[in-house]
Structure 1
Amino acid sequence: MSRTRWRLGLTVTACLVAAAVVPAPAHAEAVTDYEITLDPTATGATIDDTMYGVFFEDINRAADGGLYAELVQNRSFEYSTADNGSYTPLTSWAVNGTAQVVDDDGRLNERNRNYLSLDADSAVTNAGYNTGIRVEKGKRYDFSVWARAASGTTLTVSLKDAAGELARVRQVAAKGAWKKYTATFTATRTSNRGRLTVAATEAAALDMVSLFPRDTYKNQPNGLRKDLAEKIEALNPAFVRFPGGCLVNTGSMEDYSEASGWQRKRSYQWKDTIGPVEQRATNANFWGYNQSYGLGYYEYFRFAEDVGAMPLPVVPALVTGCGQNRATDDEALLQRHIQDTLDLIEFANGPANSKWGKVRAEMGHPKPFHLTHIGVGNEENLPNEFFARFQKFRAAIEAKYPDITVISNSGPDDTGTTFDTAWKLNREGNVDMVDEHYYNSPQWFLQNNDRYDSYDRKGPKVFLGEYASQGNAWQNALAEAAYMTGLERNADVVKLASYAPLLANEDYVQWRPDMIWFNNHASWGSASYEVQKLFMNNVGDRVVPSRATTTPDTSGPISGAVGLSTWATSAAYDDVKVTAADGTTLLSDDFSGDASQWKHVGGGSWSVQDGAYVQTDAAAENTMVTAGDPAWQDYDLHVKATKKSGNEGFLVAFGVKDTGNYYWWNLGGWNNTQSAVEKAADGGKSTIVSKAGSIETGRAYDIDIKVRGRQVSLYLDGQLWSSFTDNKPAEPFRQVVTKDDRTGDLIVKVVNAQSSAARTAIDLGGAKVASRARVTTLAAAPDDVNTETDTPVSPARSTFSGVADTFTYTFPANSVTFLRIKQR
């Protein structure tokens, strides 16, 4: 370049003059100096309008009892032990009098199998979700029920809590064959503990007992809970990925039928979820509960349109994932699913007179939904089997709809054999886009800002469909923010990105962390929500190349005690020996006596048996015991391990600092399908190296781990299994600069994930700018967590008037700061 502006810093005089316009930090001694230098004449990556979006999966009761506004739980009496071992068809219902759930030829329809037979002078009461049914004084609520009463009956419908009525009682006269009856309540009091009761004067059959708030998001029928939908809308998402996740490609791929027992654990298939809600199936949810499909594909498309986002559905590829690892060889079934996918595209985009476009139009949306991207498969751990089937899906889609981008994936992890194989197949197959998923420790995100720097610019683009730091505290969100600067810098490779999961009901949690939390009456954004919202509303259109100085790396050699553990397995350990590099024995235990050298830091049931240390509880997880000195370094660890029973293998730990900071060699993990070295840092884990493989029950394995500095070598039965060097610094100071073409703003985005303020000399490279910048800052203590009643992580907005071609700004400790600087 003829006019390079990559300057390493400012003169001392310039720094002092610029610093004078910035108030001194509260603790002047806790300041680290940095420099950021822009080159506005260089060409940075273009950032697509679709850069950031949201990923919705029905996990943590995100749909029923969550985003889907229905207030009645188990409205069609379809709950089953196949969904959850504690369920019955009357879960969430209480009977006063006589009633039974019936599955016979008198049912409402073939997909809605069960109904309630209610005797005369009997009643049923529904408890809703969380503490009960939420109603708000003055708001209207729409009740409906499908009823059948040969001789006629009066249905008395009431809303009450322990203190009395919440609305005036309604009565509905029902007679004859199945028919839908409705009524409307206006709440006279606010309550979070409401109960809906339906009483009958004469015998009647009931199904689809429903109560909806009139005030849904955008006032849509069969609509969405307003506060949750508005929080998602406030993110300004560019796309909505749905419906999963593990929800997509787990369970059976077969059709509903009498022969198959109506497939209570059938995979998620879009045709089950459209049409009148009373004709939609319910199904077992992978995450351990029932899903009603009231929130179905039509509602997902409609929601994406309402928030101004691109719809991005994901369909199963007939290779199950999420630990199930099965691939179907039924060609007819495969072709049926391929045709279903073509039908889905027609449902979304076809004219109103096409077969599936007509279905969409009849549901209330004659205009197309403008589908442009579709994902095939999710986190398959059988890359060869998946890709063979993916190619058939892609060929059929591209033949009929050449403008649709078909997205593949790279398995469930950020590294390892599956990941490498999947990417090799995707590159060789000239796939347009690959969906990556990973959940790692905050340290991993701080270490891997450069992950996409080395990706092939001419290869498949990346859709980062699921990612999060393992926790919901501010330190997790800070690490994610630092990582997002790397996503933007590599926007020519990373085209789409979505944090996951999106929603969690605080009383029904299968997975943490989550972006938005809620109960039956309130919702709140996590620290990660605030970071995502800040980035998603200040993306910019292109990257302005910039550089920053770094933080000195103070990490020393790997040090720590040693440990033994199991996960859903019983195992025996013997002949443990730790030797220093000079040959000195640090620890030796053949368990010929007691186990007094070992400290229990996990669960399980440990005891000395027959000269071995045995963990006998085959259901317990994370059962670690430790021994030794946290200051140990440069040592060799030997242990003999034998799996006795259970689902997995065994774990041998080293570099153990405490319960949240250690390394372990996980042999036979992931349902005994692979082995890996995992690093735990601040309570979160990340994978350093992994390989496919299993552990045999009853066989004794010799395990040796050699730690030298930050290099580790691992031996299994005397053979080198793998080695690695963990020397990547966790850089706490990250930045990226983008330009907003519409406003002309430069957006300087800086993450300071450390306990000291960052006094930073900023060189705009000769850009002509206004002297004032709009500032948005997120800053909090690292352990702060947003809750319903306390949100310490909230944006603070201000104005900074010291902007110039070169100026100094002090970024607070543990902060994310965006400076919007207007160019003149």
Structure 2
Amino acid sequence: MTYKKSILLTGCALFALAIQAQVTIDIDTQQRGPKVSPMLYGIFYEDINHAADGGIYAELIRNRSFEDGPRYGAPADMQGWTTDATAPSLLSAKLIQPSKKAPLLNSVQHNALELTVKASKDSPVRLVNEGFWGINAVQGRSYHLTFWAKALKYQGNVKAMLYSHDGSQIYAETMVSSLSSSNSKGWKKYEATLTADGNDPKARFALVFDGVGQVQLDMVSLFPPTFKNRENGMRPDLANMLWQMHPKFMRFPGGCFVEGQESPDNAFRWERTIGPIEEREGHWNVNWGYRTTDGLGYHEYLQLAEDLNAKPLYVVNVGLWHGGMTPYDNIQPWIDECMNALEYANGPVTSKYGALRAKNGHPEPFGIEYIEVGNENNQPDPNQQSDHYYERYEQFYKAIREKYPEMKIIGNVVAWGDDNPKWNSKLPVDLLDEHYYRSPDWFAAAFHKYDSYDRQGPKVYVGEYAVTNGYGNLGNMNAALGEAVYMMGMENNSDVVELASYAPIFVNENDARWRPDMIRFNSSRVMGTPSYYVQQLMPQHLGTQVVKVVQNNPYKDVARKPLTPKQSRVGFGTWSTHASFETVKEYDYVKGDWNKEGNIVRQTGLKDATLCIEKNVIDSDHYTCKFRARKDEGAEGFIIIFNYVDDKNYCWVNFGGWTNSQHAIEQISNGGKLLTTSKRGHIESGRWYDVTLQVAGDSVKAWLDNELVFDTVLKHDETKGIFSSATIDDATGELIVKVANTSDVATTANVNLKNFTPASARVVRLAANDGMEENTLDAPTTIHPVEQLLSPENNSVQFDVPPYSLNIIRLTAPAKP
């Protein structure tokens, strides 16, 4: 064979491969797996990021009972409130506390507002509330106002108003009442309705006075229409975002919110959160940095779950809070509190708490079937709210099981720092609550995580999971796809994983304490991240039984690009540690608290993942660099950075990581981390080390002094590619195939079917132009589901698989004659 002919035949062979090769997904519908848990997907609600007040709880007035302060432990002030008066009129306001001569509205109120008014009809004065970063005035919308007042030597009227923040426009105005000290000997409740005639997401509310004298106010409340028209209810657009997820259960009220911080009074104490809103004391949500009214209380949680057609899953406190505890052998009051809560939800109207539930408007039991004993209270370190967890659990278990033998009881396992947590007790437990906050590649790599779980052991509830490393700014498509692949793995193992819920749900963009969150909002707008749409789509397209899938991807290893860039920089960093580095070069201080004295650059703060990068660009993928480094004090050692392109893409050698117990090389790509290799290791404080790093393409060697610590090759991310799974819906006869493409390469897939001939097919697709792409409030549907019809032929269907996409194919069998 001549050389020319050999080239020609090779080209023909490649051409044939291009025509014939494609991703194939072979499915025999008689090859069945486990039944899918009918309860698999639910939601986990926690009051974080103003998820309740200023969020799903529809109340529009901020600091409505004048109990808020600037921080926990500080006196209350007039947060959210201001006075507006033009001379010659006057309006002064001060908080008053209860006294024998001046009792407040009731015993749970610690403050009220006393106004001294000097005004007239020609020159009225205003008490103004800004709401939660604006009140959303909507044309034609009616708002229900209530407040309590006591007139003291006051003669005059009071009006209510919605108006623009600059005062130029009035959107709604109504007379509330004529206040007079002669006809008001005590506190009186006032009500009115305001109907807006304009639109303004930053509107303000005001009570307008035109008389003279003193007035005391408390519990000023303004509600728009609510979800399902519930009194003291939920904001409709946010509640509808939950409803569109069709959750099977709702875990509440947290999270760390269950435990509280600093004091047991800052834990969630359910009995303090029911009844009329003016009789709810509220408490400091110290864990997340603001006070809560508890207007969204135990009854409202149960009502919301019912309105969403979701079963309530209640999390109880086991006598632990952040910073303190009740001794484990003295927790009967906490057990009693739990049992009383269950009686309120499940008891007959003839019981004490069942009668209270009926008094509050819900005679029928709510029907709690799931209860979780504690929240993240089973860590190895007892100082992490984990004192004697099994002893606490056992006492709760016995009390609950005795009265409610059918209730499913959920126990805690290690919630962080362990990818394979275990129940290290012989105590019976129905489900174990696993929590995972990781990177997109971790979740994709966990596609088979539950394949090897013990089928005879307790079921799993993945109570909290989300990409928190490499999610971008608000939550990108890479994060959503990693989570989708993980969920596909959970579906495949529904005989083990019974329940799952993403966390957290909500964030008010004006007070983000945690990122990412799947629903972002302000006073007037709301958007879902790509992760939200994954959480919405997966339960909407869930069959009743798993069907075996055999996938072949001929392109999996076709074009492996080098990982080391042709141009990059090097540098150093720290993690929760003070460290010093000796250098004569110029650096960019990318992240951290760096200072330089002579030839020594020091990190003086204790931040995570600090970066100090050489200005010099290395114009090669083969290079050697040397450093001198010293740990000064802190939790870990020091870090050498290489292959640095930007603050989202680089590699590092972490000497003394993981609380100074390991050395490791990690690759950071688009903000997410991939572990290359690791070994046991420790860095001594106060000692200078010589570090040598040699990069030869994707090969990396690292020396600590004269010891070769690493000789390895950078890893390609094996989680980039095609993942597939399938379930069948026995009720409708539909076959549901899910195909996720986590890579940047488009391809074509062919589903080959056996024992199933589709009559029609459609695909629901969530796709992005890039894995880093996100939704925003200004562009909320950049990434959103779309639907297309497919054309099945005989026993197969072919479809395009775009890069960065989740594709859900629904195949319908022919109608039976």
Is TM more than 0.5 here? yes
Determine the structure 1 residue equivalent to 2:611.
624
Q: 1:182 aligns with which of 171, 188, 191?
A: 191
Range that drifts further, 682-691 or 289-298: 682-691
Q: 1:720 to 1:621 in 2, by over 3 A?
A: closer
Query: 1:564-603: CA deviations, max 9, x gaps?
Result: 324565x1324xxxxxxxxxxxxxxx44xx343x443323
In the TM superposition, 1:164-563 aligns within 5 A as 164-174=169-179, 175-200=184-209, 201=211, 202-213=213-224, 215-252=225-262, 254-255=264-265, 266-285=266-285, 286-320=287-321, 327-329=325-327, 331-332=329-330, 334-380=331-377, 381=379, 382=381, 385-413=388-416, 415-416=417-418, 423-425=422-424, 428-470=426-468, 471=471, 472-550=475-553, 552-553=556-557, 554=560, 563=571
Query: 1:311-353: CA deviations, max 9, x gaps?
Result: 11212233446xx6x5542633x22112111111111111112
Between the aligned partners of 1:465 and 1:706, the Cα distance in structure 2 is 42
Between the aligned partners of 1:191 and 1:51, the Cα distance in structure 2 is 41
Query: 1:222-276: CA deviations, max 9, x gaps?
Result: 0100111111101111111112222222314534xxxxxxxxxx12222222222
Between the aligned partners of 1:37 and 1:459, the Cα distance in structure 2 is 31
Instruction: Give SS of 2:754's match.
Output: coil
Determine the structure 1 residue equivalent to 2:151.
149
The amino acid of 1:434's aligned partner reads L
How many Å apart are 1:70 and its aligned residue? 0.5
Between the aligned partners of 2:630 and 2:663, the Cα distance in structure 1 is 16
Q: 1:216 to 1:807 in 2, by over 3 A?
A: closer
How many Å apart are 1:219 and its aligned residue? 0.3
Q: 1:353 to 1:287 in 2, by over 3 A?
A: same
The amino acid of 1:425's aligned partner reads N
Matched, 1:100 2:94: yes
Range that drifts further, 731-740 or 635-644: 635-644
The amino acid of 2:499's aligned partner reads L
Instruction: Give SS of 2:33's match.
Output: coil
Q: 1:462 to 1:203 in 2, by over 3 A?
A: same
How many Å apart are 1:704 and its aligned residue? 7.7
Contact 1:146–1:207 (Cα < 8 Å) also in 2: yes
Contact 1:150–1:177 (Cα < 8 Å) also in 2: no
Q: 2:43 aligns with which of 47, 54, 64?
A: 54
Could you tell me the percent identity over the aligned residues?
34
Contact 1:157–1:169 (Cα < 8 Å) also in 2: yes
The normalised TM-score by structure 2 is 0.83
Q: 1:369 to 1:241 in 2, by over 3 A?
A: same
Between the aligned partners of 1:220 and 1:355, the Cα distance in structure 2 is 24
Contact 2:629–2:638 (Cα < 8 Å) also in 1: no
Contact 2:594–2:601 (Cα < 8 Å) also in 1: no
The amino acid of 1:423's aligned partner reads K
Determine the structure 2 residue equivalent to 1:133.
135
The amino acid of 1:814's aligned partner reads Y
Instruction: Give SS of 2:22's match.
Output: strand
Contact 1:713–1:724 (Cα < 8 Å) also in 2: no
Between the aligned partners of 1:643 and 1:800, the Cα distance in structure 2 is 63
The amino acid of 2:196's aligned partner reads A
Q: 1:304 to 1:775 in 2, by over 3 A?
A: same
Between the aligned partners of 1:384 and 1:637, the Cα distance in structure 2 is 46
Matched, 1:784 2:792: no
Contact 2:791–2:797 (Cα < 8 Å) also in 1: no
Between the aligned partners of 1:46 and 1:777, the Cα distance in structure 2 is 25
Contact 1:439–1:686 (Cα < 8 Å) also in 2: no
How many Å apart are 1:149 and its aligned residue? 2.3
Determine the structure 1 residue equivalent to 2:8.
none
Q: 1:134 to 1:821 in 2, by over 3 A?
A: same
The amino acid of 2:52's aligned partner reads A
Matched, 1:805 2:795: yes
The amino acid of 1:349's aligned partner reads N
Contact 2:636–2:660 (Cα < 8 Å) also in 1: no
Q: 1:108 to 1:735 in 2, by over 3 A?
A: same
Between the aligned partners of 2:651 and 2:544, the Cα distance in structure 1 is 41
Instruction: Give SS of 1:146's match.
Output: strand
Instruction: Give SS of 1:392's match.
Output: helix
Instruction: Give SS of 1:98's match.
Output: strand
Contact 1:557–1:710 (Cα < 8 Å) also in 2: no
Query: 1:78-132: CA deviations, max 9, x gaps?
Result: 11233498x95211110232111122332323322111111123642100122x2
Contact 2:58–2:234 (Cα < 8 Å) also in 1: yes
Query: 1:32-63: CA deviations, max 9, x gaps?
Result: 82111113222311112211111111112111
Range that drifts further, 187-196 or 712-721: 712-721
CA-based RMSD of the aligned residues comes to 3.7
How many Å apart are 1:302 and its aligned residue? 0.4
Structure 2 portions without partners, runs of 5+? 1-14, 85-90, 119-124
How many Å apart are 1:151 and its aligned residue? 3.9
Q: 1:629 to 1:247 in 2, by over 3 A?
A: farther
Matched, 1:573 2:602: no
Between the aligned partners of 2:661 and 2:595, the Cα distance in structure 1 is 25
Contact 1:84–1:289 (Cα < 8 Å) also in 2: no
Range that drifts further, 246-255 or 777-786: 246-255
Between the aligned partners of 1:673 and 1:317, the Cα distance in structure 2 is 33
The amino acid of 1:163's aligned partner reads S
Instruction: Give SS of 1:125's match.
Output: strand
Q: 1:225 to 1:150 in 2, by over 3 A?
A: same
Between the aligned partners of 1:406 and 1:713, the Cα distance in structure 2 is 50
Instruction: Give SS of 1:111's match.
Output: coil
Q: 2:752 aligns with which of 725, 745, 763?
A: 763
Contact 2:637–2:682 (Cα < 8 Å) also in 1: no
Contact 2:26–2:551 (Cα < 8 Å) also in 1: yes
Instruction: Give SS of 1:359's match.
Output: helix
Contact 1:269–1:315 (Cα < 8 Å) also in 2: no
The amino acid of 1:115's aligned partner reads A
The amino acid of 1:625's aligned partner reads C
Contact 1:643–1:649 (Cα < 8 Å) also in 2: no
How many Å apart are 1:397 and its aligned residue? 1.6
Instruction: Give SS of 2:447's match.
Output: coil
Q: 1:674 to 1:231 in 2, by over 3 A?
A: farther
Q: 1:431 to 1:700 in 2, by over 3 A?
A: farther
The normalised TM-score by structure 1 is 0.83
Between the aligned partners of 1:802 and 1:544, the Cα distance in structure 2 is 19
Determine the structure 1 residue equivalent to 2:783.
793
Instruction: Give SS of 1:177's match.
Output: coil
Between the aligned partners of 2:173 and 2:19, the Cα distance in structure 1 is 63
Between the aligned partners of 1:424 and 1:712, the Cα distance in structure 2 is 40
| Larger gyration radius, structure 1 or structure 2 | 2
